[in-house]
Structure 1
């Protein structure tokens, strides 16, 4: 399934008002950890899967990347990305990220931020990424954590008085589609276990470099009290792998 909620006018308007949509990378809570997993980008050919407004594409060029290709299914996303970008070395292409078919070794680095949990065939995508990466190239991705995606409700269990008691986890090993509520709309995401993420990457020819479940730092907790919820359960999973 290749759902494209972001080209729905109402949904896109709500998404555009989110802090990370307005403030960019620094407004994304997982950005500092994601950035720490990236290799040196100077002189690199970079592919961004699910590029959205192009924040990561522009960052890569700021770090000296030789060229950047951003892929997204949404025409609305790419229209905004192009309006925010004035750099001939950044190219935006509209297509499902699982349909990429670039040449062997065409890129030095592939990144994907919070997009792959919308992809049904993770193994197929990993094999395509491995093919278009050069030997030793790095793939850095973030997704919603499997503890977060296991139940479609993606919400706390509350007491009668409204207190957040705990985060429920059920049907963890039953992988597949979940219809979740996001920005007041039904959105299809794909749940897979932590072991599936890791084993599929390994089976696709990657070697694990680093894994993060984004434990909030004292600075994050001080700056934003909402991060205290992330101490109770992980929301993000970040992985850095390289092509052997």
Structure 2
């Protein structure tokens, strides 16, 4: 089951929403603070949010004064998305979503691009959308997490073999795409980006003490965070 249909599957969606309600995911503790730390002042910027889900990041950016186009393939996620007068939601698959050249100052994506098969093609489109000096900032599942052909908490295996991986996550057959850190960064450089930040956000020891379920994420990084300037 691929990203374009995954979040409309009722069994998956029920499990995912329960995870977020219980605060057991990576978003609140790790991903959101890490992403916020690399974003510029957004007042007056034209922003595109790829894989926006229920609009948390899009609304934070709009509340900071940005005009946001928030894109997601899931009908159910967009139906539940938070509303804001400066957020325009668009239902589209990231595999073929397109915008006019030079129409964005900032492109962001939060934990979505590991569902995209043609990462290089997406980077090429983002490069066209951004004005000179525009920023592309995204988080994805860390390649050491996506690498094993058979999912395991802390085993790095099959790292060099890029391509699709199937996982059981609330439902069977969830498809994500593994690519190495080198491949990710090379795609950005190839399409004219200058790397600003490459980080591997992990919980602090204090966070693990307060929330023991985060302990595994100090044994290996759960996320890769990249920001790059066009």
TM-score under structure 1 length normalisation: 0.87
1:123 to 120, 125, 139: 120
Q: Which structure: larger Rg? A: 1
200-209 or 91-100: bigger deviation: 91-100
Change over 3 Å in CA distance of 1:154–1:20 after alignment to 2: farther
1:231 to 206, 215, 218: 218
Q: Name the counterpart of 2:59.
A: 58
- Rounded to whole Å, the distance in 2 between the matches of 1:148 and 1:23 is 17
Query: Where does 1:144-183 land on structure 2 (aligned, <5 Å)?
Result: 144-156=141-153, 167-183=154-170
Alignment check: 8 A CA contact 1:153 1:181 kept: no
Change over 3 Å in CA distance of 1:173–1:74 after alignment to 2: same
> How large is the Cα RMSD of the aligned pairs?
2.0
Change over 3 Å in CA distance of 1:47–1:104 after alignment to 2: same
- Rounded to whole Å, the distance in 1 between the matches of 2:25 and 2:155 is 31
**Misfit runs of 4+, over 4 Å:** 20-26
Alignment check: 8 A CA contact 2:30 2:201 kept: no
In structure 2, the residue corresponding to 1:92 is in which secondary structure?
strand
96-105 or 19-28: bigger deviation: 19-28
Alignment check: 8 A CA contact 2:24 2:213 kept: no
Cα-to-partner distance string for 1:103-155 (whole Å, 9 max, x where unaligned): 11101100001100000000000000010011100010000011000014332
TM-score under structure 2 length normalisation: 0.93
Q: Name the counterpart of 2:175.
A: 188
Q: Name the counterpart of 1:138.
A: 135
Aligned-pair CA distance for 1:27: 2.6
Change over 3 Å in CA distance of 1:137–1:22 after alignment to 2: same
What number of residue pairs does the alignment pair up?
A: 229
Change over 3 Å in CA distance of 1:68–1:193 after alignment to 2: same
1:201 to 165, 169, 188: 188
> Which structure ranks higher in relative contact order (CA pairs < 8 Å, sequence separation ≥ 6)?
2
- Rounded to whole Å, the distance in 1 between the matches of 2:60 and 2:25 is 10
Cα-to-partner distance string for 1:3-51 (whole Å, 9 max, x where unaligned): 4111112211221212269799973532111110111111111100000
Q: Name the counterpart of 1:49.
A: 50
Alignment check: 8 A CA contact 1:20 1:27 kept: no
In structure 2, the residue corresponding to 1:186 is in which secondary structure?
strand
52-61 or 226-235: bigger deviation: 226-235
Alignment check: 8 A CA contact 1:3 1:188 kept: no
